[in-house]
Amino acid sequence: MNKQFFINMIICVLLFTGCQKDVDQFNPSGNAATFNADIFGVVLDPDKKPIEGAKVSFDGNVTYSDKYGVYKFDNSKVKSTHNFFTITKDGYFEGCKTFRTDRDHGMQFKSVLVPKNFDLTFSASTGGNIEKGNVTLDFEPNSIVYDDDNTDYTGDVKVAVHYLDPLAWSSFDIMPGDLSSINAGNEVGTLLSYGMVYVELQATNGEKLQIKKDKTVKMSAVVSQDLLANAKSEIPMWYFDYKTGLWVEEGIGQLVGNVYTASVSHFSCWNYDYNFPSIILSGRVVDKNGNPMPNVHVWVSPVGEYLGGHGNTHIDGTFSGRVPKDKELEIKLFFNSSNCINKWNAPDQIINIGVISADKNIGDIVFDAPELRSLHISGTFTDCDGQKVEDGFLQIDNVLFPFIGGTIDMNIVVCSANSIEIVVIDRVKLMASTPIITTFESELFLGNVIVCGNQPEFISYNSDTDAISGVILDYISHGIDNSDISYIQGFGRDSSFVNLRFELPLGIKTFPVGSYPIVDGTFIALSEQYNWARFPIFESGTINITTPGVNLGDEINGNYSIKMKKEQGIDIYEFKGNFRVKL
């Protein structure tokens, strides 16, 4: 495959996966079909580490990612045309996934959130020029307002900028939406990107800022040398609308030399793109025996042009996404795993599917690459008490496969020369199995796997007063301070905090079994999910240690019950919870 072939294939990307709320432009006749879907996803940072406490909002429902970055929406109503969910986390640019489906099934998504790095500054009163990488922003004097009330802001402006390279594979997991678009004529299409830019403005006290009405900012971006030959003198500009899950046309970028420059009136994620008519194409990838093949990368494009849509198949091997209309199309199949080396440089299989002018399901596609293997994997999973793991997932070569009811029976795709490593996670009890490293033939029966090892330290909290509940798994500590007051505390990555202070019998430096009075100085702080509520006023409480801690490495287990008040509050909140810490 030559270099231009690969570049064109990358820049014309449209994801099949993601999810969006129904939008009238997609279905003006109101004839979209509705299906039931179990949505399973994972939120990661750019280093592929899980993000805990990310808020995921879909169709009026909200959930939060757990310590593994995993979230679920069970038995959701999903339309055949357009759905979306948004992902927010303090300190990160907002994410969004878009998808559609043509059947009842399980759907799986991966999202990467990029940290906001407010490392650039200019004066709002005098304006300024900001440069980062290949992006330049020119601000006029007195052009900035507070985002919440549009009043003038005259202080220093902190700026966070992140550029998404259309040639980088990592951009596809980061970018919002799936490049589904609405142009100035209110027509649905798909986009070909020449680059995307996240920008956010912040006051010195952290308040969000925006561009003043009737003002604009000149935004410039250098076009990659590999894309410059195909760049036209003008290109439409598009911003991402998180309320609809769509890219919306607004403005024109002008090419001068190797730089596209446009005037923008507000900040979101901006995109330099050409727009094309589209249809929705659906299908299923199976092996030669008819077994569904999940996690296969499907790329649909016009023959020789490589404009099209792409994404991974779901657990049942299905895909559905927007692709170019009235073009002779071909499907390229790639095995999607880091363990198969150099697979992204050429498709494992290419299939011509002809010209398609309307939404269509093309049925099953047989993926028969000789170096790949479809592996049937099955097994059962129980916890420390011998009970079924009701809600969990397998982690296989950094890919997650959910299960319910303590059993799994499915097909996955593997490299024929590789062994695999499997870890089973119990999402409810927050436990993991010991790693299972095994070779395989066409069948792999795991037997019964006990998910009881690697028990994490934690502090849980819940209150019936406002339906508050949560688990802290990060930065768990314990000790005895200078006034002989013992403490157990935990600080979560979502900024939640529990500090339990209690009195042991005088002179005891360990944590024996017993019930002990909780004392003043105990504090509970909640995350954004509960509007950053603080409970600093201690009323009364007891801590119960059920498993003692004497020697280094011992586990201390127990529970607590306390009554607290908010700052300047009169209502009493009763909190209860459990904990596990190690000496």
- Percentage of the chain beyond pLDDT 90 is 47
Query: Highest mean pLDDT: which of 129-133, 163-167, 432-436, 546-550?
Result: 129-133
Structural domain 458-582, CATH architecture: Beta Barrel (2.40)
- Cβ neighbours of residue 196 under 8 Å, at least 6 residues apart? 163, 164, 166, 171, 175, 269, 270, 271, 272
Kindly report, as residue ranges, where domains of CATH 2.60.220 are found in the chain.
118-276
Q: Which fold has domain 280-365?
A: Immunoglobulin-like (2.60.40)
Instruction: Give the closest residue to 279 by CA, choosing from 351, 191, 360.
Output: 360
Question: Measured between alpha carbons, how far is 452 from 471 in angstroms, rounded to an integer?
Answer: 18
Instruction: Give the closest residue to 580 by CA, choosing from 384, 415, 435.
Output: 384
Q: Would you tell me which CATH number, out of the four given (1.10.357.10, 3.40.50.720, 3.40.1110.10, 2.60.40.2190), belongs to the domain 372-450?
A: 2.60.40.2190
Helix (H, G, I), strand (E, B) or coil at 145: strand
Q: Tokens 């020789």 — which residue?
A: 304
Task: Check residue 55 and give its pLDDT.
Answer: 94
Question: Measured between alpha carbons, how far is 424 from 389 in angstroms, rounded to an integer?
Answer: 10
Task: Check residue 455 and give its pLDDT.
Answer: 66
Task: Check residue 307 and give its pLDDT.
Answer: 57
Instruction: Give the closest residue to 68 by CA, choosing from 530, 433, 388, 395.
Output: 395
**Average pLDDT of the residues in 333-350:** 64
Give the H/E segment covering residue 534: strand 534-535
Q: Is the pLDDT of residue 237 over 90?
A: yes
Q: Is the pLDDT of residue 408 over 60?
A: yes
Instruction: Give the closest residue to 307 by CA, choosing from 179, 212, 204.
Output: 179
Question: Measured between alpha carbons, how far is 73 from 94 in angstroms, rounded to an integer?
Answer: 19
Q: Is the pLDDT of residue 469 over 90?
A: no
Q: Is the pLDDT of residue 264 over 70?
A: yes
Q: Is the pLDDT of residue 273 over 60?
A: yes
Angle CA(561)–CA(567)–CA(573) in degrees, nearest 5?
A: 30
Task: Check residue 340 and give its pLDDT.
Answer: 54
Kindly report, as residue ranges, where domains of CATH 2.60.40.10 are found in the chain.
280-365
In tens, the pLDDT along 491-508 reads: 887 778 999 999 887 666
Question: Distance from first CA to last CA of the chain, Å, rounded?
Answer: 57
Encoded amino acid at 330, one letter = E
Question: Measured between alpha carbons, how far is 527 from 109 in angstroms, rounded to an integer?
Answer: 25
Kindly report, as residue ranges, where domains of CATH 2.60.40.2190 are found in the chain.
372-450
Give the H/E segment covering residue 172: helix 171-174
Two structure tokens written together for 136: 């330049």
Query: What is the average pLDDT score of the chain?
Result: 85
Structural domain 118-276, CATH architecture: Sandwich (2.60)
Helix (H, G, I), strand (E, B) or coil at 96: strand
Q: Is the pLDDT of residue 15 over 60?
A: no
Give the H/E segment covering residue 9: helix 3-11
CB 451 within 8 A of CB 435: no
Question: Measured between alpha carbons, how far is 240 from 19 in angstroms, rounded to an integer?
Answer: 14
